[in-house]
Structure 1
Amino acid sequence: MSIGNSPEGDPPFEDGRSEDGHEEEARPSVGRALQQARIAAGLTVDDVSGVTRVRIAIVHAIEADDFTPCGGDVYARGHIRTLAKAVHIDPVPLLARYDDDHGGRPAPTPAAPLFEAERIRPERRGPNWTAAMVAAIVAVVGFVGFTAFKGGDSDSGANAVAQGASPSASKPAKPTPSNTDSATPKSDPSDSAIAAAPQDKVTVQVSAVDGRSWISAKDHNGRMLFDGLLKKGESKTFQDSSKVNLILGDAGAIQLYVNGKKIEDDFQPGAVERLTYTKGDPEVG
């Protein structure tokens, strides 16, 4: 059994003392509080890493109050919340302590330029089926009129034959419905993939298929839609008029459906992902 990976191998916490020698109320650091809770729960670092999908090296670093491997305050807060829930303690006091030690709660980070570019991307338009249908009708009417005009120039014998055959002479006008049908707009095949989702909104479904993960979701105004742990097998659906912002604490455990279509991004286990989706996603092509 490796030292530091066993609940019994961690040294006990020592109470702090003030400069005048009097004992003061112990207030463990964020990392120390998580370590003590893990030991009290009878869990090893490997156990916590397996449950949360947070890499072992990051768990060790956080318990040593080294948040550099997390990659930033937002990701560090997400890992703290995930680890706290895994060892059965309330993450709120730990997050407050972390904010006190690191200059307050981080300001919201703007969406990545890639998603901004997608948000303002011009909407693709299909063919103008109305104009095509009108053109087809005009062509049919012109053909019928031309046929009637030519029939008026024939001699009387031809007129007699034409009058006897008047029912069949009107047949050229019958293709009109079929021609009209051929010009009737067909539904864009690419639209069938997102037919189940409202066209005037953005709909995002988040499913924890390979494990549990902490997720955060906000609407286009920055209002929090959800912030918490999604257990394996659970799903959440978020909808907004224009945009949904996501943070996935363990993107490798998540499967996304955006506007009714499965997202095929290859997220790695334990990876933290920040994503933004709009009504135009995924891009129709």
Structure 2
Amino acid sequence: MAIGRVLQRARLDAGLGIDDISTATRVRIPIVQAIEQGDFSRCGGDVYAKGHIKTLARAVGLDPRPLLERYDAEYGTSESLTPASPLFEAERIRPERRGPNWTAAMVAAIVAVIGFVGFTLFQGNDPAGDSGTQAAEGANPAESKPTPTPHHSAPPAAPKPAPSDSAIAAAPRDKVTVMINAAQSRSWVSAKDHNGQVIFDGTLQKGEKKTFQDSDKIDLIVGNVSSVELFVNGKKIDNQFKPGQVGRLSYTKGDPEVG
């Protein structure tokens, strides 16, 4: 089948709509539709077309390499011979070599001389007799000297461990912890925190697990949700979804049920 047809078939098999793929990959809906119809003119060139193919393939659980090889054979131009990575690397700024700043050094020397002269004049205006009288009338330096208090610095805090199966076992009450196990087959997963920021977007292979943790809420989109096991705050969720169904789930602190 053509490249676009392969991507479309895999998306339908995963139970995902075009809007789901566009949300997960940030590839605009018109471009996704054009690629599935075999039209790569809207991608803006071979480099961007191949990048979209790779992103869409991974979102539906396909190996992008055969599709990229077919693209090079059918549509590739001389542009494909140039590595794509330098186009996206930030330009390195090389430090400019400069000679010594003699003006700044001269100003610093003048300020130091003026400070020394002022300090010397101030010391010369202080009568020796006054200083001796103050030393005689003052308290015993040994008695007035404060006793230094030992200062103990607090030990550095231990680094916060990443969420894992141990986080599921602990299930802290002040956070929401979700663990997904692709027990039966691979499944595409997109997870967001309570601020709407994407914390994971990819495909879990069969037998692979992924744990998410947030202080308030976790939102999930799970393709083929009937094939996965869900554990929320240490409790297993009863999976009553149908085969091929896409699950849109939301969990909060202390919530063992589907939101």
TM over 0.5: no
Q: TM-score range by the shorter chain?
A: 0.3 to 0.5
Q: TM-score, normalised by structure 1?
A: 0.38
**TM-score if structure 2 supplies the norm length?**
0.42
